[in-house]
Structure 1
Amino acid sequence: MVSRGADAHHEETPLLIDATVPSTPSTALHPTSGHDLVDQEAGQASGSDDRARANVSVLQIVLVLLIGVFISNADGSLLMATHPIIASEFNDLRDSSWLLTSFGLAAAAMQPLYGKLSDIYGRKALILLAYTLFGGGCALVGVGTSMGYLILGRVVSGLGSSGMTALVSILITDLVPLRDVASWRSYVNIVATTGRSIGGPLGGWLADTVGWRWSFLGQAPLAGVAIILIAITLPAHTTQEPIDELKKSNLARIDVLGATFMVLTILSFLFPLEIGGDRLPWSHPVVLGLLGGACLFGALFVVTEARFAKEPIIPLILFRHKDVVLSLVIMICQTAAQVGLMIAIPLYFQVTSSASNTVAGAHLFPAVAGNAVGGILSGIVIKRTGRYKTLSLLALFTASIGYLLLILRWHGNTNWLESLYIFPGGFAMGVIQSTLFINVQAAIDPAHSAVAASSLYLASSVGMLIGMAGTSSVLQSTLKGALERKLTDAGFADKEKWKIIGRAISDVHYADHAKPSVGKLVIRSYVEALNWTHVFSLACSLTAFFVSIFLRQHKL
């Protein structure tokens, strides 16, 4: 393993190459004359000034990038709060999860490409591309006239959003020493949390007043402003490749075949998770064929990267590190757990208390606040102690307790105090986003820093898709079962029973205008189904906890 501190060039980015100077000469460690001492002190003062200027440059760059961090996170939470309303407008509540899933599939497919492509073409070019795709996708959603059109817009937005998040962390890793990375990322996490906090209530308020379309149309101009500021502020020299490598054809250096097999592997694996058990049975030839294709494409990807790729899109050497593999598994599991929770919460309050979109979205606040607290606390602890494993274990254990409390206590009449049970899950996400990032960066050769960061974000995207698909599958299957059982027990005939079931699963507010007796049955069925989604989250979080026991604590 190559230590990140072994080479100063891995601790100082070429972005700030003009603002940095060589460290104090080694002769300063030995007895010096009076004149030498004066020169030494002057050099130290100069070094302090240069470091201060470098910190200012880092701050300027990060501040500009925070615009994208804010809008990309606000976008996710506002859609989680309003996707049932959007789909209900098209009488297609059953397909509402596709607004989230299409975004996640596109993000997952593109995520690992950003790291390597930013090494080749530079960070700035890829960040500008990401913002352009995101803004264009938001505009498409805002003017969409059908669910298909909206899903297409979410695909385009997802292609951009994955770069808007991953490249910020990659740049921070370029800019500052590893021990300080968690602190800087915690500041970014505050902005991300603010976006998630505002996104849900804002999206709900816009849906209740001027319409949900402005939730997306309003993001496009912000993306445009960010593009202009990045073009002005971010230096173009953002690649850490050697000069002789830069002279090669950039296009020839792209591992096109490996990238193709990787994308096909991801999509072939994740797509069946969305349709299996809901639209098609798990034994259906399409589902089995896609899963088989994922295995085939995965094998071809490994062979390509191992034998043919001169510059692999994802170097296989990364997966020889146990800590990298464990970190990816933990990220997938905990993200799936938390995304499942974030989807279920607005729906729970819309059904059980007839909450408006604004209020339902606001109920996500404890989770996003927990995320901010977890990110800030982990940054402080890692910077002061250099330790992160115990923090990860504590956070994941706390999250599991929170999910268990939801199962035991949320049965339709939830007061404000019990609504705080979602705080631990958000806290755990804030912690592990920092600790796993640091763990992966500490475990690998710094030359693979960008690719490793993208891989971790890919794991987050995969976890998000698993969480959405798992939650949707559990919700749909258990809701149908609960409705059928309760309506049968109440004496409804088959024809009327299936009519009620069809309307209940296609309109989140059906219970509000149904007969009181039917409405109560629908609400109780929803509560039962949502309870099983919390079981899904608990299972994922406990898996992450047990896997984290085997993490190694690297010295920072």
Structure 2
Amino acid sequence: GVFTSNADGSLVFATAPTISSHYSQLESASWLLTSYALAQAAAQPVLAKMSDVFGRKGVLLVCYILFAVGNLVTGVGQEFWQVVAGRTLAGLGGAGMNVLVSILITDMVPKIEVAAWRSYVNVAATVARSIGGPLGGWLADTIGWRWSFIGQAPLSLLAFFIVAWKLVNPSTPLLANGESPKTRAKLGRIDYIGSILMSATIVAFILAVDMPSRGISWASPIVVSLLNTSVILGIVFVIFEQKCASEPIFPPRLLFEWNVASSYAILALQIAAQMSMMFSIPLYFQVTKGASNTEAGSYLVPAVVGNTIGGLVIKKTGKYKGLLYLATFSACSAYAILILTWHGHSSPLASLAIFPSGFGTGIAGAATFVVLTAYLPHNDIAIATGGMYLLASIGMILGLSLSSSLQGHAEKCIGCAGCDATGNPACVG
């Protein structure tokens, strides 16, 4: 499941230009990524809490079905909105396929071995991302982009049957007498109002930050209204969770824990920078070198190889504080190289410069998870892990949105023979 859902991510990076061009929606290409990430962000904390109530296995199996159906809808969609709807449904499934595996590790593995097992998950995820880009590009160039999504459905169903057959549910909630509670009692434990408020806050915020990537000004009424709405809903959510919810969907107190808040911030910022880079590089080589989908996707391999190695480093050392400093320095050095040396004439070997960014992100992803499992009591780990994946999704969307917005602005400036002193296209007005 982790392999399939992560391969899907880099696969879309490589095929998004082809898919959006097929429907004459090139300016909306980022929706193929944003819709998936938006669904993931809204669902991850909810699924983490539901797994506490209903058990990990049942929720994970439902996620496999959602992922399979979503990819089938994407593959057979005849309109662009149908493809985006399929990506959204797949995002709901992909949310659980990632977060629940990490939670299962904390259920089944001693704390001293969490770093090692997390590194194995990281290797599976990064190998999948390294394969997804070139594979998606190759399929788009040969038998068509639709099969890159349709082909994921059988893999998801295979994972469904393996989990249904082999996984022993480690978290089935029991009553004091050892019996399983009735379904009505389980449903009564779900914080419905909190779930709605949190999801609405996330959706309003993500839509606001995504609007500028579609040419809408940050100062436009719709963006300002969405940002204000997300702030108001967020305040109401925090008050409700603190004062009214018997079992909060996400306890706000966790955000006031320094180790939790700093881990969330580190991971979100690393992911934002990494996703921005990975969205831009295939487009860069397609524009400057006329690269095919397959070739453009292959330029992402150094980053995901670096991500794999970074994840293994945390396994070897078991330390995290010093490695987080190393992760920041490594990633920043890669972005500095790109900014200073990539000006439209980069050779294919220049893509090796993105290796340090993947290395840094790999360390950050593993180390922040180790921080949470080492610091928090077991009862908080599931929901804190859901929050970690939520912040990673928000970071992904911020990176994609800002990158797309800046690229669109640059294209307008090029089309107008430059920008004026205020940074606006010279031909405007």
Q: Return the TM-score normalized by structure 2.
A: 0.94
In structure 1, what is the equivalent of residue 167 of structure 2? Answer: 234
Answer yes or no: is 1:200 the counterpart of 2:155. no
* Distance in 1 of aligned mates of 2:94 and 2:227: 26
Answer yes or no: is 1:147 the counterpart of 2:80. yes
Deviates more, 1:231-240 or 1:202-211: 231-240
Answer yes or no: is 1:132 the counterpart of 2:132. no
Answer yes or no: is 1:247 the counterpart of 2:247. no
> Please, what is the CA RMSD of the aligned residues?
1.8
Answer yes or no: is 1:342 the counterpart of 2:342. no
Contact 2:108 2:170 in 1 (8 A): no
Deviations along 1:254-290, one digit per CA (max 9) or x if unpaired, are 0000010000000111101111364422222221111
Paired residues for 1:317-466 under 5 Å? 317-382=253-318, 387-466=319-398
Contact 2:202 2:230 in 1 (8 A): yes
* Distance in 2 of aligned mates of 1:151 and 1:416: 32
Which amino acid in 2 is paired with 1:309? A
Deviations along 1:51-98, one digit per CA (max 9) or x if unpaired, are xxxxxxxxxxxxxxxxx1111111100100110111011111000000
* Distance in 1 of aligned mates of 2:213 and 2:305: 34
Answer yes or no: is 1:116 the counterpart of 2:52. no
Change in Cα spacing, 1:174 to 1:351, as seen in structure 2 (3 Å) is same
Q: Percent identity?
A: 45
Answer yes or no: is 1:299 the counterpart of 2:235. yes
* Distance in 1 of aligned mates of 2:92 and 2:226: 22
Answer yes or no: is 1:221 the counterpart of 2:221. no
* Distance in 2 of aligned mates of 1:130 and 1:144: 21
Change in Cα spacing, 1:422 to 1:313, as seen in structure 2 (3 Å) is same
What is the Cα deviation at residue 134 of structure 1?
0.6
Deviates more, 1:247-256 or 1:148-157: 247-256
2:6 counterpart SS class = helix
* Distance in 2 of aligned mates of 1:399 and 1:236: 38
In structure 2, what is the equivalent of residue 268 of structure 1? Answer: 204
Change in Cα spacing, 1:130 to 1:380, as seen in structure 2 (3 Å) is same
Deviates more, 1:150-159 or 1:234-243: 234-243
1:283 aligned residue (205, 219, 222): 219
* Distance in 1 of aligned mates of 2:42 and 2:180: 26
Select the structure of larger CA radius of gyration. Answer: 1
* Distance in 1 of aligned mates of 2:393 and 2:191: 22
* Distance in 1 of aligned mates of 2:293 and 2:268: 29
In structure 2, what is the equivalent of residue 169 of structure 1? Answer: 102
What is the Cα deviation at residue 186 of structure 1?
1.0
1:259 aligned residue (195, 200, 218): 195
Which amino acid in 1 is paired with 2:403? T
Deviations along 1:204-252, one digit per CA (max 9) or x if unpaired, are 1111110000000000111111111111111245336664695360000
In structure 2, what is the equivalent of residue 93 of structure 1? Answer: 26
1:276 counterpart SS class = helix
Change in Cα spacing, 1:427 to 1:241, as seen in structure 2 (3 Å) is farther
Change in Cα spacing, 1:412 to 1:284, as seen in structure 2 (3 Å) is closer
Which structure 1 residue ranges, 5 or more long, are not aligned? Answer: 1-67, 489-493, 499-556
1:158 aligned residue (79, 91, 96): 91
* Distance in 1 of aligned mates of 2:251 and 2:214: 36
* Distance in 1 of aligned mates of 2:273 and 2:213: 19
Contact 2:28 2:214 in 1 (8 A): no
* Distance in 1 of aligned mates of 2:175 and 2:370: 25
2:417 counterpart SS class = helix
Contact 2:259 2:372 in 1 (8 A): yes
Answer yes or no: is 1:477 the counterpart of 2:409. yes
Deviations along 1:128-166, one digit per CA (max 9) or x if unpaired, are 011111110000000011110100000000001011001
Contact 2:6 2:128 in 1 (8 A): yes
Change in Cα spacing, 1:319 to 1:240, as seen in structure 2 (3 Å) is farther
In structure 2, what is the equivalent of residue 514 of structure 1? Answer: none
In structure 2, what is the equivalent of residue 507 of structure 1? Answer: none
Contact 2:213 2:408 in 1 (8 A): no
* Distance in 2 of aligned mates of 1:128 and 1:113: 15
Change in Cα spacing, 1:389 to 1:301, as seen in structure 2 (3 Å) is same
Change in Cα spacing, 1:242 to 1:465, as seen in structure 2 (3 Å) is farther
1:104 aligned residue (37, 49, 58): 37
Contact 2:107 2:170 in 1 (8 A): no
Change in Cα spacing, 1:178 to 1:241, as seen in structure 2 (3 Å) is farther
Which amino acid in 2 is paired with 1:252? G
1:281 counterpart SS class = coil
In structure 2, what is the equivalent of residue 73 of structure 1? Answer: 6
Q: Return the TM-score normalized by structure 1.
A: 0.73
Change in Cα spacing, 1:459 to 1:326, as seen in structure 2 (3 Å) is same
Deviations along 1:277-325, one digit per CA (max 9) or x if unpaired, are 6442222222111111101111111111111111111122212211111
In structure 2, what is the equivalent of residue 314 of structure 1? Answer: 250
Deviates more, 1:400-409 or 1:247-256: 247-256
